[in-house]
Structure 1
Amino acid sequence: MPLIALGLNHLTAPVSLREQVAFDADAAGDALRALVSEPGVEEAMILSTCNRTELYVGTAAGAEDIPRAWLNRHHHLTPGKLDEFLYRHDEDDAVRHMFRVATGLDSMVLGEPQILGQVKDAYQLARGAQSLKAPMDRLLQHTFAVAKRVRTDTRIGAHTVSVAFTAVRLAEQVFTDLKQACVLLIGAGDTIELAARHLAEKQARRIIVANRTPETAQELAGRYGGYAIALADLSQHLAEADIVISSTAARQPIVTRAMVEQAMLARKRRPMFMVDIAVPRDIEADVGELPDVYLYGIDDLRQVIDENIRSRAAAAHDAEAIIDLQVDRYMAWRRALTVRNPALDMRQHAEVYRDEVLLKARGMLAHGKSPEEALAFLANTLTNKLLHHPSARLREAALNGDLDLLHAAGRLYGLDEDEDGRATRGE
């Protein structure tokens, strides 16, 4: 069953296209069920984040192009529209890609830890949709083990770097002293919580958290000494913000140009710095055209992120070596699924011999032979039947000087071990 990884990310596609193919978490389960119902699609997982949308698919031979066609059709795109932006990895390369993604080696922020949690969420969603079979389930388990080892054995996560940290770092460059800044955070997910934590460490003057659910906003704001508002009240507080960082799962922009224009009138030309790290975008793109408004999207963070990449380059090299080794191990297991197991054949032959000889031994008893005679016949005949073919092959190997086969037979039957079970060694 061929394995492919198909997708686009921050390196291959602009945010305007990435948001068109993003999968809403609530609808991803239905999408998975639709995908695995396609002809030739055996199993699948969808990974959709602000930086990437990827399909990991096990297909029947000859069906490798089905996921590409399905992706266009599912998002109602013109056939071929995605072709120049998509990448596809097959077999070993698909496994390597998944390992690199989960360990943060393929992230905008090298080594960032959030992606592993997103892969785990995608795995749980696929399990819930019953779109996984043994090969990919095993691959995901192997992926989590590899990610843990990379974190443990390398310094890939030694420096605190994330998209949230990068956003705060950029804000700090614009507003030299965050202690004088009022920050408005829109959303309450992991990225916004990380931003709130970094801002609290920088002792921002005021933190406002806006969320669709006021209770969630209050819980997050309370942890970092902030003030909570409902998303519906956003326009009333926007003018207070020197810095706006937004990351929600909304399908449409929640900060419009009109809202920002009104806020800037109230601010009397005091600048506003805005970072939109959501996909699809939370802030209308033309907000950046307004005077004294400095709007940065997720792709704009790359220049700041590049500074941190250099500090993790050596660790990434070590991580790649670990990944290469683990790719070989997983693929060896996967290939073994398609190889006929001689142990099963040997056991089946032995059971056939056993049943034949047992039937004859019972016939001897039925015809008046003593139990001792029947048992002796059973033991001798079964031994001869089981050893006939191996003995013949070993005699032939001895005559031909086939030492490899002779040594392999010794290992197979434990003949190269001493009485205590230890392997014997030549002097």
Structure 2
Amino acid sequence: MTLIALGLNHLTAPVSLREQVAFDEDAASKALHDLRGQPGVEEAFILSTCNRTELYVSVKAGAEDMPRSWLDRHHRLTPGRLDEFLYRHDEDAAVRHMFRVATGLDSMVLGEPQILGQVKDAYQLARDAQTMGAPMDRLLQHTFAVAKRVRTDTRIGAHTVSVAFTAVRLAEQVFTDLRQACVLLIGAGDTIELAARHLVDKQVRRLIVANRTLENAQELAGRHGGYAIALHDLPQHLAEADIVISSTASRTPVVTRTMAEKAVHARRHKPVFMVDIAVPRDIEEGVGTLDDVFLYGIDDLKQVIDDNRRSREAAAREADAIIDLQVERYMAWRRALGVRNPALDMRQHAETYRDEVLAKAQAMIARGRPPEEALAFLANTLTNKLLHHPSARLREAALNGDMELLHAAGRLYGLNDDEKLDMEK
């Protein structure tokens, strides 16, 4: 089997394309079954975040192009539409890529920790869908161990700037004093939770949390002294917000151009700052064309994030060194799966001989032969059968002067150096 990692991310594809191939949890579960069911596909794992969609698959010989064609078909895209945006890694390169993704080395925010939780969620989804075998499961377990070691042994996680923090930092540049701002958070996931914490630290004047499930919004708002609303009430409250930060799993925009236009009119054209860090996008693209609306998407945050990247590049090099070592260890284990284990073969042959000779000894007793005679037959015959092939090979080695095989036999059978093998028996 060949291990393949195929995908696109924030470096290779614009957000408009990334949102077309993104999977939410429900879609990913169905897609896993579909992908695993393709001819030649033995294992399947899908990782889909706001910055990337990646397929990790083990395929039989001849099925190496199946994942790429499946991705086009699954999302009903023109064949070849994704080709210029996709990257592909095979075998050890695929393992290295997964390790780098999970440790945050391939993230927009170098070293950010949130991606590891997303990989773990994707792993649980694949386990529930039963689309992974032992090799892929072992790879993911190894990935988690590598990520933990990198966090422990390097400073890759020191002073990281999350996407949520970057959004708040950008808002602070627009509104010099956030203590005078009303902030509307749309969503209730980890990114919005982080944004809420940063905003509370900045002592924002008012915090509103909108979510499709009101109870989740209430829980998050309650932890940070905010006010919760249901998502369907968003049009009535949008005009109150000086700053909007949105990150939901919605497949369609939750803030439309019409909705934003009405809000701007109600605000009497007082500027509003919006950050959309969802993929697919939460805020309709046309909102950014409105006067007095300053809309930033996730790709727009890249420049702000890059300013902080250089401080962690040395730690990233240390992390890569750890990853290189761990890639080789996993690949050695994977290669061993394809090698026949002689110990297992030897035991299987021995058990076959045992069963044959035991059956004959039992038959002797059933015919009235003395048990002592049957036991002697069992012992002698089994010994001769087990030692016949090794004895013949060692006799041949002695005649040919093959000392390497003779010494190996001594080690195999636990013989002392001063013991000699009787080649004449």
TM-score (norm 2): 0.90
For residues 396 and 313 of structure 1, the distance between their equivalents in structure 2, rounded to whole angstroms, comes to 61
Task: State the match for 1:324 in structure 2.
Answer: 324
Q: Which residue of 1 aligns with 2:423?
A: none
Q: Comparing 236-245 with 348-357, which one deviates more in the overlay?
A: 348-357
Task: Determine the structure 1 residue equivalent to 2:412.
Answer: 412
Q: Displacement of 1:299 after TM fit?
A: 0.5
Q: Which residue of 2 aligns with 1:340?
A: 340
Could you tell me how far 1:338 is from its partner in structure 2? 1.9
Distance 1:248 1:356, change over 3 A: closer
Given that 2:187 and 2:247 are in contact with CA atoms closer than 8 Å, whether structure 1 keeps it comes out as yes
Per-residue CA shift, 1:96-135, capped at 9, x if unaligned?
A: 1111111111111111111111112212222222222222
CA distance 1:294–1:138, change in 2 (3 Å): same
Shift in Å, 1:408: 3.9
Higher alpha-carbon deviation: 292-301 or 362-371: 362-371
5 Å-filtered alignment, 1:9-20, equals 9-20=9-20
Aligned to 2:190: 190
Counterparts of 1:272-351 in structure 2, within 5 Å, are 272-351=272-351
CA deviation map 1:52-107 (0-9, x unaligned): 11111122210111111111111111111111011111111112111111111111
Q: CA deviation at 1:397?
A: 4.7
The residue matched to 2:270 in structure 1 has which SS? coil
Sequence identity of aligned pairs in percent?
83
Residues 347, 272 of structure 1: alpha-carbon distance in 2 compared, 3 angstrom cutoff: same
- Three-state SS of the structure 2 residue aligned to 1:62 is coil
Unaligned runs of 5+ in 2: 418-425
Q: Which residue of 1 aligns with 2:420?
A: none
Deviation at 1:410, TM superposition (A): 4.3
Is contact 2:55–2:67 with CA below 8 Å preserved after alignment? yes
Q: Following the alignment from structure 1 to structure 2, what is the Cα–Cα distance between the partners of residues 128 and 399?
A: 59
Corresponding residue for 2:225?
225
Q: Which moved more, 1:384-393 or 1:359-368?
A: 359-368
Distance 1:303 1:400 in 2: 72
TM-score by length of 1: 0.90
Letter aligned with residue 291 of structure 1: D
CA drift of 1:353 comes to 2.8
- What is the one-letter code of the residue matched to 2:286? D
For the aligned residue pairs, the C-alpha RMSD in angstroms reads 2.3
1:377 offset after TM fit, Å?
4.3
Deviation at 1:154, TM superposition (A): 2.0
Bigger CA drift: 93-102 or 141-150? Answer: 141-150
Cα gap change, 1:391 to 1:169, in 2 (>3 Å)? farther
Conserved in 1, the CA contact under 8 Å of 2:38 and 2:66? yes
Q: CA deviation at 1:32?
A: 1.8
**2:212, 2:91 → 1: CA distance?**
42
Distance in 1 of aligned mates of 2:414 and 2:149: 35
Alpha-carbon distance in structure 2 between the residues aligned to 1:238 and 1:126: 38
What is the aligned partner in structure 2 of residue 70 from structure 1? 70
Does the residue aligned with 2:349 lie in a helix, a strand or coil? helix
What CA distance in whole angstroms lies between the structure 1 residues aligned with 2:21 and 2:78? 12
Taking the aligned partners of 2:148 and 2:197, their CA distance within structure 1 comes to 24
Q: Determine the C-alpha separation between the residues in 2 that align with 1:42 and 1:22.
A: 22
The corresponding residue for 1:201 is 201
Q: Report the counterpart of residue 168 of structure 1 in structure 2.
A: 168
Structure 1 residues 273 and 75: alpha-carbon distance in aligned structure 2, compared to 1, 3 A threshold: same
How far residue 401 of structure 1 moved from its aligned partner, in angstroms, is 5.9
SS at match of 1:151: helix
**TM superposition shift of 1:269:** 4.0
SS in 1 for 2:210: strand
Instruction: Please show how residues 240-251 of structure 1 align to structure 2 within 5 Å.
Output: 240-251=240-251
Per-residue CA deviations over 1:361-417 (Å, capped at 9, x if unaligned) read 456656776544543443344334323333444455566665554554444334479
Shift, 1:15, TM fit: 0.3
User: Aligned partners of 2:238 and 2:342: how far apart in 1?
Assistant: 71
Partners of 2:272 and 2:294 within 8 A in 1: yes
Q: Aligned partners of 2:369 and 2:15: how far apart in 1? A: 86
Deviation of 1:10 (Å): 0.5
C-alpha spacing 1:221/1:367, structure 2 compared with 1 (3 Å): closer
Give the aligned length: 417
Q: Which moved more, 1:32-41 or 1:349-358?
A: 349-358
Q: Would the aligned equivalents of 2:9 and 2:53 in 1 still touch at CA under 8 Å?
A: yes
Kindly tell me: are residues 157 and 402 of structure 1, through their superposed partners in 2, closer, same or farther at Cα, counting changes over 3 Å? farther
Instruction: After TM superposition, list the pairs within 5 Å mapping 1:115-194 onto structure 2.
Output: 115-194=115-194
Query: Quick check: 1:8 aligned with 2:8?
Result: yes
Instruction: Tell me the amino acid that sits aligned with residue 49 of structure 1.
Output: T
SS of 2:283's equivalent?
coil
Residue deviations 1:266-312 (CA, integer Å, cap 9, x gap) = 33443222110011111122222223322110001111111222222
Distance 1:188 1:368, change over 3 A: closer
User: Judging changes above 3 Å, is the alpha-carbon distance between structure 1 residues 400 and 166 closer, same or farther for their aligned structure 2 residues?
Assistant: farther
Q: Which runs of 5+ in 1 are unaligned?
A: 418-427
Correspondence for 1:94: 94
Matches within 5 A, 1:16-95: 16-95=16-95
Q: 1:370 to 1:153 in 2, by over 3 A?
A: same
